[in-house]
Amino acid sequence: MTPAEARRLFPLLLGTLVVPFDTALNVAFPQIIQAFDLPLPAIQWLIIAYVLTYGSLMLAVGRIGDIWGHARVFRFGLCWSAMTMLLCALAPSYGALLFCRVLQGVGAAFVIGCGAALATSLYPEAMRARALAAYAAGFAACSALGPLLGGLLVAWGGWQAVFWIRVPVALLALWLLRGGLVPPRPAGPRESFDGAGALLLALGMASLLLAINRGAIPLFLMAGLALGGFAWRSLGVARPILDLRLFRRPGFARLNLASLLVNLAGFGVMLLVPFYLASVAALPPAWVGGVLAAGHLGSMLGSALGGRLGGGPRCALAGAGLGGAGLLMIAFWGPGTSAWLLLAALLLQGFGIGLFTLAYTDMITASMRREDRGVAGSLTLLTRTLGIVLAASLLTLVFGAGEAGALAAGAAPMAGFLAGFGQAFWVAGALPFLALALLLRRWG
């Protein structure tokens, strides 16, 4: 991609930054707990409220973008995000902050629900893989900036800074996106929007994500009823939110399942590695964010290479294998593991997952109508979100069981931690190879 072509993408990436930069919030957790006098478990609801909201809305937002124009929806999302991030910074109580996080999740859905579709619409179809690679690399870079800059922001402006610092960024992106830098709504008659289907899907996805996180049977039942109603309605309307007949195509369902498994495995790094770096490697907080950024750097490199190679099944297969290998390397970490091996494992798993994600996104985008690019991009983000929520439950459970077993056998606290840590990453490392096996059935 030439410098002139890259400049066309810059305003879109700048606007998208407001969502992945939310990783900075994790650094602000201690100050938020102190500011509102919270018990430690309560802080998780800041993440749950946000993820539940955008995760349940993304497919419907993608469909809205396909109908009313991705640029219009993206701009609306930026305006909404700027307003709600300011409200988060001004929240007088924890309850108000949680409510504002829900509102922020709505804005995030409108921003990322149309981001990938906009990226592909800026370039000829022959450049689709390279456009998606540049967008994915920018997304990974923004995610890496969160932990790196979050500590500085909190030290300078308190926990509120991780919210209000993004307001001028969103407004600057809006200004840069003026005057035709982004294509208008597609020409031709406007298709219908299935409002009832969107409500059933949002209820089903919110219930499912919360049920996975909380392990609540009634929520699983509610999710089953709502998603069953969505499926029944989708088969009876001309233009559903998501055409479920796509899953009858050879390999389509397995490709999405593979993405869920890879993202489930990859989130183990952000979930557990910070505790290893702080307690076993004994790194200062500023270094923890820098080491974690190695995984995001690997993801950027993997996405860039995937774009140059044009995506496709071979990149997906290679990415799953490399990501799994990097995660298995982490399972062997111990007190004497050198810094170079830490960085190498994080770079490898990030590279593999970035390569896989680019190939997966490109294949899903290519398999759907150009008029459904918003839904295609949202579907790729939905499998990522489901993987993250599943990881928070499954890998935490595996870690806890391994640690408890070691402690019950008389192990020291650090040895118990490493036992649980190793078991969790044995499971995490195996999942991309399971995804690889699923994909080989179609493209091997």
Q: Are residues 227 and 270 in the same domain?
A: no
Q: Are residues 151 and 207 in the same domain?
A: no
Judge whether 215 lies within some domain.
Answer: yes
Q: Are residues 328 and 359 in the same domain?
A: yes
Q: Are residues 156 and 31 in the same domain?
A: yes
Q: What is the pLDDT of residues 268-279, one digit of tens each?
A: 888 888 888 888
Q: What CATH number did the domain enclosing 275 receive? A: 1.20.1250.20
Contacts of 373 (CB under 8 A, 6+ apart): 66, 70, 116, 117, 120, 121, 365
Number of domains observed in the structure of the chain:
3
For tokens 């396909």, the residue is 66
pLDDT of residue 271: 83
**Residue 182 predicted with pLDDT over 70:** no
Q: CA 402 to CA 299: how far, in whole Å?
A: 29
Q: Are residues 339 and 428 in the same domain?
A: yes
pTM score: 0.85
Q: Which two tokens stand for residue 212?
A: 């996975």
**Residue 187 predicted with pLDDT over 60:** no
Average pLDDT of the segment spanning 383-388: 88
Q: Are residues 228 and 266 in the same domain?
A: no
Q: Are residues 103 and 209 in the same domain?
A: no
Q: What is the pLDDT of residues 225-249, one digit of tens each?
A: 999 999 999 888 888 888 888 888 8
- Can you give the residue range of the structural domain that contains 343? 246-444
**Residue 296 predicted with pLDDT over 70:** yes
pLDDT of residue 180: 52
**Residue 443 predicted with pLDDT over 70:** no
Average pLDDT of the segment spanning 431-440: 94
Q: Are residues 343 and 308 in the same domain?
A: yes
Per mean pLDDT, which range of 114-118, 143-147, 188-192 is the poorest?
188-192
**Residue 424 predicted with pLDDT over 80:** yes
Share of the chain above pLDDT 70, in %: 95
Q: Are residues 257 and 109 in the same domain?
A: no
Q: Read off the amino acid at residue 42.
A: A
Judge whether 305 lies within some domain.
Answer: yes
Instruction: Kindly report the average pLDDT of the chain as a whole number.
Output: 89
Q: CA 84 to CA 81: how far, in whole Å?
A: 5
Q: Note whether 246 and 367 are within 8 A (CB).
A: yes
pLDDT of residue 1: 61
Q: What is the pLDDT of residues 389-401, one digit of tens each?
A: 888 788 988 999 9
Q: What is the DSSP letter of 191?
A: P
Q: Are residues 159 and 223 in the same domain?
A: no
Q: Note whether 418 and 334 are within 8 A (CB).
A: yes
